[in-house]
Amino acid sequence: MRLLDEFRPRPLELERLPAEVALERSRAFLALMQTRRSIRHFSPDPVEPELIENAVRTAGTAPSGANQQPWTFVVVTSEHTKRALRKAAEREEELLYRERASDEYLEAIRPIGTNAVKPHVTDAPVLIVVFEQSWRLEKGEKRKHYYVRESVGIAVGLLIASLHAAGLATLTHAPSPMGFLKEILGRPENERPFLLIPVGYPAADAEVPDLTKKTLEEIAVFD
């Protein structure tokens, strides 16, 4: 069977906006995203489940290699599970800070003010644990996925943007190593941990590092 035999196109549905509307939306979205900050101090206030569900649905619209959508989003609200995840994360992080991390890495993260204690894992009302799927089973056969990390990275970006647009704060936490996430959450053989994302509202006394983002001139080249 030729590849083209499987190609079933349909008309694209995308409205071309008037220039002034496009600019207005672009500027508004930029202004919104410029207020996004990663936080480590969460309020215990509950989050409306649909906000999380809609953010995951938004993440699921991301482009992916061969449209294989190689991601799983595990939403954790169980206090028991959060405690287990925090205990395991702190065990790995303690080893990282004490033995595994290079002096160069520790110096790089010094302005962030982090350490091996991770209260955000239990304080945040919701954890979203993202897994990447390196392969899938199809009719009993293992099928490789392509551009997995690129695809999952794009999906996570959309997830975070959607959560921020809903007034929620997040943190991208990547404890090293992350194998305990797969073990505690009972994920299948074809999934690998990608990120642990606490989600919620900032605590009343939440603080963030005094950091700046690079300018357009520093991150872009226009030829």
CATH number at residue 193: 3.40.109.10
Q: How many structural domains does the chain have?
A: 1
pTM of the predicted protein model: 0.93
Q: Is residue 87 part of a domain?
A: yes
> Is omega for the bond preceding 177 within 30 degrees of 0, making it cis?
yes
pLDDT at position 1 is 46
Question: Is 61 part of a structural domain of the chain?
Answer: yes
- Residue 75 falls within a domain, yes or no? yes
Question: Is 16 within the bounds of a domain?
Answer: no
Spell out the residues 6+ positions from residue 151 whose beta carbon is closer than 8 angstroms to its own: 62, 63, 64, 65, 68, 69, 70, 71, 145
* pLDDT number for residue 185: 98
Return the bridge partners of 108, or none.
none
Write out the chain's pLDDT in tens, 223 residues: 455 567 889 999 999 999 999 999 999 999 999 999 999 999 999 999 999 999 999 999 999 999 999 999 999 999 999 999 999 999 999 988 888 889 898 898 888 888 889 999 999 999 999 999 999 999 889 999 999 999 999 999 999 999 999 999 999 999 889 999 999 999 999 999 999 999 999 999 999 999 999 999 999 999 9
Residue 31 lies in a domain: no
| Overall residue count recorded for the chain in this entry | 223
Is residue 114 within 8 A of residue 92, CB to CB? The reply is no
The answer to whether residue 26 is domain-embedded is: no
Does some domain include residue 125? yes
Residue 96 lies in a domain: yes
Q: Which domain holds residue 111?
A: 41-202
Q: How many CA atoms lie within 13 A of 214 on its CB side?
A: 5
